[in-house]
Every structure is written in C-alpha cells, then in structure tokens.
Chains A and B, each alone.
Chain A
Amino acid sequence: MPEVTLRHIDKIYDGGVQAVYDFDMDIHDGEFIVLVGPSGCGKSTTLRMVAGLEDITKGQLVIDGKDCTRLPPKDRDIAMVFQNYALYGHMTIYENMAFSLTLRKEKKEVIHRKVMAAAEILDLKTQLNKKPRQLSGGQRQRVAMGRAIVRNPKVFLFDEPLSNLDAQLRGSMRRELMLLHKKLNATIIYVTHDQTEALTLADRIVCMSMGHVQQIGRPIELYEYPANTFVATFIGLPPMNMFDGKISGGKFVCDYFEYPLTAEQQKLLSGYEGKSIILGVRPENIRRGGPILFKVENNENLGMNTLVHGKVGGKKIVVCKFAEWCGYKYGDEIEIGFEPDRMHFFDSETTMAVR
C-alpha cells in the first residue's frame, strides 16, 4: 500500500491564482521523493498541502490509508523541516529536540531515550546543552532534523533545508541526508530548486513548472530521457543546448548548421519531414570532430573537466563540456559533432520529446 497518495490535487488561492494543477502521484513506503523546479512552480505549496499548512482546494490526500485531506496538521503524523530551521532560541538543543514530545506529555525517560537516539544518529550528543546560536548552520539544520526524527513520523517533509548553507556544507549535509534516509528507511518528501540535490538524493524526482507536473521518474530517467524541453533544460548543469530547426532530407537543418541523422533517427523522425523540431544535446555529449564549426569565446577549466562556451553559425551560444583540461583561447575555431545516441528531439508545438 502506498504510504502517501496525492490524488488530482489542485490549489487555488483566494484571489483565483492557481498554484498547483492536478498533482497526482503515489509515494511508496520508504521512498525519497524530491520536488524540484524553479521558484513559483508550486513545489513548496504542494509540500505545505501535504503538511496541512495550506488547504487543498480540490483532490484527495491519503497518508497510510487515512484520508488527511481536511485533517489538521497535528493529526497527520508528519514532521517538517524548514529552510530557516525554526529552532527556539531560548531553549537548549536537548529541549528543542524534546519539545514536541513534551507537548504530547510523554514520560521524561521516554523523551530522553528518543532524544539521545536521534542525537546519536545525527552526531549531536556533545551539543545537547548548547543554545542554537552557539551552533553552525549545518549543526542547526541537524537539530531541526533531530526534532523531526524524535517524533518518528510516518512522513518527513523537507522544505529547502540546505538552502541557507554554503556550498561545501551543503555537500556534506547532502551525504548525511542520504545516510539518514538509509538508517531510518523513512518516507521523505523533499523540496528543492537545486537540481544537484534532486539528482543525488531522490529515489524519484517530480519536476514541476508553473504549477504543473512536468515529469515524474528516477533521476537517470529525467536526465537521460527528459519528457519535454522544460525538463531537458532544467535538469543538468550546464543546461542542454537546444536548436530550433526542421528535418529535411535525412538531416537536421537549422539556421546555424546542418547535421546528418542516423538511420535510426530518420526512422524515428519520419513523421516530421519538413516540420519544425527542436534538437537538444547535453554539453557532455558534444565531441570534437564533426560538421559544425564552433568559435570559442570562453574556456572554463574546472579541474576534472572543461566548459567551453562559444557560438555556432556566428550567433547561437553553445556550451561544450570536455572531459580533459583544455587550453582554448577566444576566437579559436574547432569542429564539433554530437554523440548520435545522445541527441534528443522535441516537438516544436507541444515541446514533448519525440520517442
């Protein structure tokens, strides 16, 4: 039985603004779900509806077989971790972690055992007598997680928990979150706008834009087989290079170049002869040697690889990612081509992938 079921959920605010359209998915027991998308796409609203902090305008929410659509947050058996930690500054870390259990009037010894167990998992045992202001951002976020863990909820909700941390700390916290998920085997719904977090943490990603779910799938599916141009450009860093063109005589033709198609691609695109189509190629799927002339503008050596920015056809900006250290200079011209089995085609009208 799925742990959480969101059935055709809509969110319309009082002013008539619709934030979420027909959100429909089943989240299984122990699954790590990441809602990802740009600001204002409705991912936090969806999470807040699961938490009960926002009313569900239409649809049904079921948690562990129980209809929670109209249930107040306290009765949903969920725990939420916020971006700004939401710790009580006048309480010690121990008291912060024990607070929800104290409100439930649990025995002191029971509370103590749960707090100590959570502190052990999160490596916070030596910090329990400190106040939140004495801790670093990462430690505070761990306390916020600890506060959620002690409640042993059915579902953990994370609302951009790592956004306040610096890049290095975010990396280490990401690893800790992965370990935490393995240890607790908990059902987690996690909201982020950071696609790296989404790709590394998720069992399944829900990619959203303008309140609509664009694609739900495993990270590799979203990366390798994006459902539409939005997912293709949103997932992956640097984003996928997109070229508007058409299919003509077994070639992809655009304003900047003509590119021959393989027999397999021609078969796939047989219905698009003479029609507009979008070709998408990830920077790492561009190889040196091919029919396209690429004029280098910028060469960014990142150590393990090199990002080369430049133009094709004198206009179109393209980013290439080469696996080795490169020494290109402004104005250098190189010939490039695409890995044939890594070329993505999208319908110009619907923006959906052609498969």
Chain B
Amino acid sequence: MSVRSRLGLDREMTSENIIKTDVYRYKRNKLASGLALLGLFINCLYFMLFYGISYQPYANPLIGLSVLCNLFVLLGTFLASEGVKVYNKKYCILLLIVAIIQFVRIFIYPLDLAQGGDTLFTPGENDVVGVRYFGVNLGSTGVSTILIIYLVLSVACLLASALFGYIRAVQLEKFSASLEKGTISVDDALAELNRKDEEAAKAANNAAGEVHNA
C-alpha cells in the first residue's frame, strides 16, 4: 500500500467514503485549525517564559529579531489556521514554514541556554540565567528544557495541522471534481447505505425470530 493511500489521499470512493468526504462540504476543518491554534498557544507560552528571563547578555538589539520572529509566527499561524479551516491547502505551506522557523529557533537561544548561556554572547561576571516560573526558581538548564519542549510541541502541532489540512483539502478537492464529473453521487451513496441498513435490520430481525423459534 502506497504512502498516499495510507494517508487517505487516494482512497476508493465507496459509499461510506463518499459520505465521510461529503461532510467536509458542510463542516469546517476544525481539527487542523485547532491544532494550528494549539501550536500558536504553545508559542505564546514559549515567549512568555523566554522574555521573562533576566539575563543581561541577551538584552541587545538582536532580541528585536526574536520579537519580529514571534510576531510572524503568531500572525502566520493564525492566518494559516483560518485557511486550513476552509480546506485551503495553500495555507499548509505557510504552516510548514512556521514549523521550520520554530524548529530552527530551538538551536538559537534554547540551545545556548542549555550550554550555560555563553555560546552566543559572552556573559559578565555577575550574569546568571534565572527566572521565577510558576513559583519555581529556574536556572539555565530548567529554562532551556522547558523552552525546547514548548518549541518541539509547537512544531508537532503545526506539522500535524499542515498534514491534516493537506489530506482533507486534497480529499475534498478530488471529491468535488468527481461530483462535478458525475462519477459519484451523494444521493446514490445515501440510498445505498440506507438499503444496507434496512437489510441489516431485516437480517437482525430474522435472526432474532429464529432464536425465538428455537
């Protein structure tokens, strides 16, 4: 079975699958959109912790780039979440770009903190990484661990959102094309499923009757 089939991109249009896909025409892709928003929320947690650190060497004009990066991530993720919600597969690319940015960020400040905070900039004698986070005093190792976890989680959510967004968008696209061509029919699928249900009910009744007679 190919990867495309496994992902459901080339699935056979049985009556069940037709109905499953027809739902997309009336319901928004809340799964993909929700995952993107979760990624955004985790990014917020990331910068809330990061900007709370009192570490003098980081207080230089370069921190502005980090702020800009955050703004891009917030805006991009929100836009993409709205895009994937309406099955627009182009926004999956934006989600991927944001995911890559989040991934790359792991190797800048969090990695520096994991290495004691002296790789990017040279600290002074009294410069110590420290932050009070939810009532706990954290050092450089603690901060870096949490920051990396946040970024990894954010990347995972964004990737999952992009994947689900893409799969469903492609499924809907193919479904709509087939519907327009007339190769599939929702009404026929509904009728077939209803017929199957009736047959199943009849069979169940017959079986119950036989048990009763026995």
Check A108 against B26 for contact (C-beta < 8 Å).
no
> What separation, in Å, do the CA atoms of A117 and B197 have in the docked complex?
14
Question: Is B19 touching A128 in the complex (CB atoms < 8 A)?
Answer: no
B26–A109 CB distance below 8 A: no
User: Does A309 reach chain B (CB closer than 8 Å)?
Assistant: no
Min C-beta distance of B183 to chain A, whole Å: 20
Which chain B residues lie closer than 8 Å to A113 at the CB level? Answer: 19, 190, 193-194
B contact residues, total (Cβ < 8 Å): 12
Q: When each residue 27-42 of chain B gets 1 if its CB lies under 8 Å from chain A and 0 otherwise, what string results?
A: 1000000000000000
- Most-contacted residue by chain B among A92, A95, A116, A128 (CB, 10 A): A116
* Interface residues in B1-38 (C-beta closer than 8 Å to A): 16, 19-20, 22-23, 25-27
Q: Which of B20, B23, B194 has the most chain A CB within a 10 Å cutoff?
A: B23
For the residues of B in contact with A, the DSSP-based class is helix
Q: Can you name the residue of chain B whose Cβ is closest to the Cβ of A119?
A: B26
Once bound together, how far apart are the Cα atoms of A109 and B20, in whole Å?
A: 6
A94 lies within 8 A of chain B by Cβ: yes
> Residue on B with the closest CB to A129?
B26
The answer to whether B26 and A92 have CB atoms under 8 Å apart is yes
Q: In the bound complex, what is the Cα–Cα distance between A116 and B189 (angstroms)?
A: 12
A174 on the interface (CB 8 Å rule)? no
Q: Is A170 an interface residue (CB 8 A)?
A: no
Q: Which residue of A lies closest to B17 (CB)?
A: A109
CA–CA, A129 to B23, complex, Å? 11
Query: 8 Å CB contacts to B: which residues of A122-142?
Result: 128-129
Report the Cα distance A150→B22, complex, angstroms.
Answer: 18
Binding site for A on B (CB under 8 A): 16, 19-20, 22-23, 25-27, 186, 190, 193-194
| 14 CB-based A-B contacts, threshold 8 Å | A92-B26, A94-B26, A95-B26, A108-B23, A108-B27, A109-B16, A109-B20, A112-B22, A116-B22, A116-B190, A117-B190, A128-B26, A129-B25, A129-B26
